[in-house]
Amino acid sequence: MQSTQPTIWQEIDEVKQAVAEVLAHAKQLGASSAEASMSRTKGLSVETRHGEVETVEFNQDGGLGISLYFGQRKGSASTADLSPQALRRTVEAAADIARYTSEDPHTGIADASWLEMSPPDLDLYHPETIGTDEAIALCAGAEDAAFATDNRITNSEGASFSSHTGLKVYGNSHGQLVGHPSSRHSFSCVVIGEDGDDMQRDYSFTVARQYSKLLDPKQIGREAALETIARLNARQVPTQKVPVIFRADIASSLFGHLVS
């Protein structure tokens, strides 16, 4: 990790410079204010089914999004091409859009007093070098564990592993220019169960910033099997008023509905 830290922070400095140039170009075009964010990600994704490799992907992506304002008129544009020429064209596209939009009294970037100019390190970056063979073995192990859990598990929709690192930089015309690196490792397994005429599917997954904190693949396979078996031969209850206890994974999703 020590050998990669300077590299990621050097990348962040490079991206900060690019975002600063984007904001400067927006100002040259007459924008009264602007904000932009740029991201870069890279990593490995592997999917298997019945122990056979379905996909292996190495990806390296990036993108820029910018919103600029002419008074209370806003224009936004984005690009996946991070070359200097493409970034300038994206700023100009956002400016063209802003010139033709109607005024909105509630638009604009946040007040400078609300912004954190020196955000704390949230310890989100824990890179790990995972080989393709290791990732395939993890997926196969989960599927094997699922089939071994119960003979009613008759099929698999596969297991998948993902390990990605990246960075994000945000800047605006108030002078805020901040960035941070992050990592994300995840693993999942989906299986199908049958009992008579009833067929059900379910899954289990684990996700963490640190690879070492992922749950064991065999545990994920067993959990996927048990979740699937629990769905078989479900009974319908009559309409009634009763207390309801939500499972933890379901309860957390309720907040999304409330927020939206």
Residues 6 or more apart from 19 whose CB is under 8 A from it?
36, 37, 38, 64, 169, 170, 171, 177
> Are 185 and 128 contacting, i.e. CB atoms less than 8 angstroms apart?
yes
Asked whether the predicted pLDDT for residue 128 surpasses 70, the reply is yes
Burial 56-66 (b: 16+ CB within 10 A, else e): eeeeeebebbb
In percent, how much of the chain has pLDDT > 70?
A: 98
CATH class of segment(s) 5-233 = alpha beta
Asked whether the predicted pLDDT for residue 2 surpasses 80, the reply is no
Confidence of residue 6 (pLDDT cuts 50, 70, 90): low
48 closest CA partner among 153, 150, 143? 143
pLDDT at 39: 97
Asked whether the predicted pLDDT for residue 1 surpasses 50, the reply is no
pLDDT at 249: 79
Per residue in 104-117, pLDDT tens? 999 999 999 999 99
Per residue in 193-240, pLDDT tens? 999 999 999 999 999 999 999 999 999 999 999 999 999 999 999 999
Strand arrangement of the beta sheet that strand 177-195 belongs to? 73-79, 52-70, 33-49, 153-172, 177-195, 198-208
Domain limits of the chain?
5-233
> Are 46 and 132 contacting, i.e. CB atoms less than 8 angstroms apart?
yes
Q: What are phi and psi of 103, to 5 degrees?
A: -75, 145
Asked whether the predicted pLDDT for residue 33 surpasses 60, the reply is yes
**pTM for the model:** 0.84
